[in-house]
Structure 1
């Protein structure tokens, strides 16, 4: 009788558990943010029922700094730690893709970064950012968006550099996790492009619900455009650049225009 050539059970590769990976990554990042944003949205509806319009409700994303700074260098370290924490979900997603990638560049184009990526990213920033600004204005005028306190960062010398870092941290986090990782794993699970795109856009919109219906719809549309493009190109860097530029303009624009422009 010939000896079996099958490897011991302990040495056999376990089947990928892509569904569990998706739940775990979203559960510690944007999925949980979507849940808390939804609860905030429900609370705002209670306020509306008491006769206060949604446009009068003040809301804010994750705060980026306190109103006063007593120890600047400790505050800088706090901000850097917060930015690193925001990058952790993207790092986790990349580690999981290293185990079971979706193709070259881990299936999300991490191996491709150059002038072309920057150019496409800036193009996307204009395509999404300019109409998005108009949508914010219309939503505020119709009372569909809350009054968003984009940043409460105090007027210190490191405000703009920190806001720029935070903008690109959010670009990396959201595009690597919500777009690239989610769509890659859903494709590996056998989901159709349209079904995966629908889930990705709803997830992206969900954690912006604290802004109101306008925030949800605008970011869901952004998710459809970004996701559709990613499904066809498998390139995440242009989306990271576009998102970072849009957020940077939002943060810095708010700092200098809030109080000078009525709807900002």
Structure 2
């Protein structure tokens, strides 16, 4: 004998199951996958004979440095495919709850506010972040981060800026806009949403060491609180973009002349 199921209860379960599976699949294709590989990377680093601060984490590596035209093609392909998970997140938000960019505040309604507020956020996080990185290296809990290993070509700085744009869009659209929206639809407590997103952000930076984890966890908490207050991802994308441009381009220009980076 089949026990009748109330339609309202069943209707409530279907979105819950769908949201959960959707979150898992999107993260498995993007930053969740990065977090798993980052955890494996830190396990590898901790079991090496060298101390963490004697190891190097390389961002933006050159793929075929002896053939600049092909290297440029590889870099453009990496940026193009890398931003697709963020586009997928926006597509999913367009379907539910609808008008994804407007829902998460990733639109052109307030360009002036987004630009100046994003700049303020970047300034407030960037200087303490550099201090935390240097302190973590001094304490032996972080690797040396080589922010750019591209060869010196006419396209080096434009590619670094595009890479910064990819990182900022993907991380803020998915970690903040998408996850906060879906978790709230799943009736998660705000504190749980905030810490889950922040811990995940820190986790996919663990390959750099524990300084990278702590710094990005704090950044995730700050960005999450700002989003909860203003309901806009755009200034967070601007802030992240500026932070990465300074890190990537600044490193490529300054690192050859100093020994403390």
Show the counterpart of 2:52: 54
**TM-score, with structure 1 as normaliser:** 0.88
Post-superposition, which runs of at least 4 consecutive aligned residues in structure 1 deviate over 6 A?
A: none
Instruction: Compute the displacement of 1:110 (Å).
Output: 2.5
How far, CA to CA, are the matches of 2:209 and 2:147 in structure 1?
14
Between 104-113 and 81-90, the greater mean CA deviation after superposition: 104-113
- Say whether 1:235 aligns with 2:232: yes
- Which residue of 2 is the match for residue 45 of structure 1? 46
- Structure 1 residue 105 displacement after superposition: 4.4
Name the residue aligned to 1:197: 194
Matches within 5 A, 1:34-183: 34-47=35-48, 50=49, 52-61=50-59, 63-66=60-63, 68-72=65-69, 74-101=70-97, 105-111=101-107, 112-183=109-180
Query: Pairwise mapping of residues 215-230 of structure 1 onto structure 2 (< 5 A)?
Result: 215-230=212-227
Any conservation in 2 of the 1:37–1:209 contact (CA below 8 Å)? yes
Q: CA deviation at 1:65?
A: 2.5
SS at match of 1:148: strand
C-alpha distance in structure 2 between counterparts of 1:46 and 1:186, whole Å: 36
Shift of 1:259: 3.6
Q: Which residue of 1 aligns with 2:8?
A: none
CA distance in 1, matches of 2:188, 2:67: 52
Q: 1:159 Cα shift? A: 0.4
Structure 2 gap ranges (5+): 1-13
Tell me the residue number matched to 2:19: 18
Deviation readout 1:85-133 (Å, 9 max, x if unpaired) = 1110100000000011278844201233411110111011101111101
Q: Evaluate the alpha carbon distance shift between residue 116 and residue 43 of structure 1 in structure 2; reply closer, same or farther with a 3 A threshold.
A: same
* Structure 1 residue 232 displacement after superposition: 2.2
Q: Decide which moves more: 139-148 or 97-106.
A: 97-106
Measure the CA separation in 1 of the matches of 2:243 and 2:64: 24
Structure 2 Cα separation of the partners of residues 67 and 262 of structure 1: 26
CA distance in 1: counterparts of 2:52 and 2:68, whole angstroms: 37
Q: CA deviation at 1:153?
A: 0.5
- Aligned residues of 1:201 and 1:222 also touching (Cα < 8 A): yes
Secondary structure, counterpart of 1:100 in structure 2: helix
Taking the aligned partners of 1:218 and 1:15, their CA distance within structure 2 comes to: 35
- 1:70 Cα shift? 1.8
**What is the aligned length?**
246
TM normalised by structure 2 equals: 0.89
8 Å contact from structure 2 (residues 172, 233) kept in 1: yes
Question: Does 84-93 or 225-234 show the bigger shift?
Answer: 225-234
